[in-house]
Amino acid sequence: MPDRTATHPSEPFADVKARVAAAVEAASTEIIDLSHRIHANPEPAFEERQASTWVAEALRARDFEVQHPAGSLDTAIRAVYRGRRVDDGPRIGILAEYDALPGLGHGCGHNTMAASGFGAAIALAAVADALPGEIVFLGTPAEERGSGKQIMINDGLFAGLDAALLYHPCDRSHVEARALASEDAEVVFTGLQAHAASDPWKGRNALDALILLFSSVGLWRQQLRPSARVHGIIREGGTAANIIPDRTAAWFMIRSEDEAEYRQMRERFRQLCDAAALATETTVELRFSGLARTMRNNPVLVERFRANMAVYGISDEGDDPYAGSTDMANVSWVCPTIHPDLAIAPEGTPGHSILFRDAAATPQADETTLLAATLVAQTAVDLFLEPELVEAAWRAFREA
């Protein structure tokens, strides 16, 4: 790890950036304590009550104007801190995620994001006398399922933002992120119960339908492009071996790097569900939700984040060809956005795993959390103090 506290920040505005770094250092105990508390108390998508309350309280204690809940989500936060000359300054969004994975805990390390987002916001507030404009902290629930950021966009909580910045933990460090278009597909087959031995011919088997769907998906994969993904789990598979199941349920996700291809896959998946129902004389309900889009990395913000990162001795390892999905991509269609990833674990540590979960509360993760807070805040300083940079970011956004 680089020596975060001894490094001289990148020009321009190195003096303000040094104050930001000092503010993160001064609050480091509070930032890391927040990360560890959220790590020890994992809450899945839309249920992040404790995490969002801790974050909201900490921001209130730092004189942010806090809305919590914000918009239609109980666990969303919008908190504002105004610098000098509000009217002509930009509005820079600092985002934080805090949802965990069901049955796994913080296997995506979002506890470090919540803490670093908080750290970046309060570090900017500490230098607000030097900043025109408005610091907007957005606590964004439900990244792992449901695309909470899209709900917040629909609720108007991103209105007027000139940029959206966050950091995500990873096993490598890279500034640009790929993200596949993705959606959740909830499938329910309904059949008819019967005794599985004495009169099975009277039943209609909803589990047969679900097994057929999994088989169809498995065969379908051969005809899909390498970047496409379709994967699922069985939520309900019946209740007893001696009852013909009348209800089964599955949760699938469908993904592609190309939005047009994604829409075709969605229709094809619907046909596979209908075919499985037809073959088993069951009925099917299919519900899509939580669309995540493809990511538009803003090149102007990418370059500035990379420069801020370089002086701390962290080089950009280049984006990962094997992408997941994120609702931050939806934000990237609304305003200039970046989604830099910084390593908290040895390279090769799989995401969404016990290994990654355990890595998210180690000294390395803590140090990365503080560095991420520093780098996100320093990139925000660039935007606050250089109006041409905001203009250039918007120009690149429109040209993309």
Residues binding Zn ion (CB under 5 A): 108
Nearest CA to 161 among 382, 390, 399, 400?
Answer: 390
Q: What is the 3-state secondary structure (H, E, C) of 108-158?
A: CCHHHHHHHHHHHHHHHHHCHHHCECEEEEEEECCCCCCCHHHHHHHCCCC
Of the pair 283, 364, the CB lying nearest Zn ion is at 364
In this complex, which beta carbon is closest to Zn ion, that of residue 108 or of residue 376?
108
Minimum distance of Zn ion from residue 271's CB (angstroms):
29
- Nearest Cα to 231, choosing from 142, 112, 116, 324? 324
Give the Cα separation of 94 and 138 in Å (integer).
6
Instruction: Tally Cβ neighbours within 10 Å of residue 318.
Output: 11
Which one, of 221, 371, 256, lies nearest residue 308 by Cα? Answer: 371
* Preceding peptide of 321 cis, ω within 30°: no
| DSSP codes, 36-96 | HHHHHS--BTT--HHHHHHHHHHHHHTT-EEESSBTTBTT-EEEEEE-BSGGGS-EEEEEE
CB atoms within 10 A of CB 195: 12
Residue 357 C-beta: closest distance to Zn ion, Å? 11
CB of 212 to Zn ion, least distance (A): 30
Q: How far is the CB of 107 from Zn ion (least distance, A)?
A: 7
Of residues 66 and 108, the one with the C-beta less far from Zn ion = 108
Quote the least distance from Cβ 177 to Zn ion, whole Å: 11
User: Which distant-in-sequence residues (6+ apart) come within 8 Å of 224 by Cβ?
Assistant: 230, 265
Measure the CA–CA gap between 270 and 284, rounded to whole angstroms.
10
Least distance (Å) between residue 110 CB and Zn ion: 6
CB nearer to Zn ion: give 46 or 394: 46
Distance CA 116, CA 368 (A): 9
Q: CB nearer to Zn ion: give 108 or 309.
A: 108
Instruction: Tell me how far, at minimum, the Cβ of 60 lies from Zn ion, in Å.
Output: 26
Residue type for position 147: S
Tell me the closest approach of the beta carbon of residue 171 to Zn ion, in angstroms: 13
Nearer to Zn ion, 108 or 125 (CB): 108
Which CB, 140 or 280, lies closer to Zn ion? 140
Q: Whose CB is nearest to Zn ion?
A: 108
Residue with smaller CB distance to Zn ion, 19 or 293: 293
- Report in angstroms how near the CB of residue 365 gets to Zn ion at its nearest: 13
* Nearer to Zn ion (CB atom), residue 108 or residue 375: 108
Rounded to whole angstroms, what are the CA distances from 161 to 62, 243, 303? 22, 56, 20
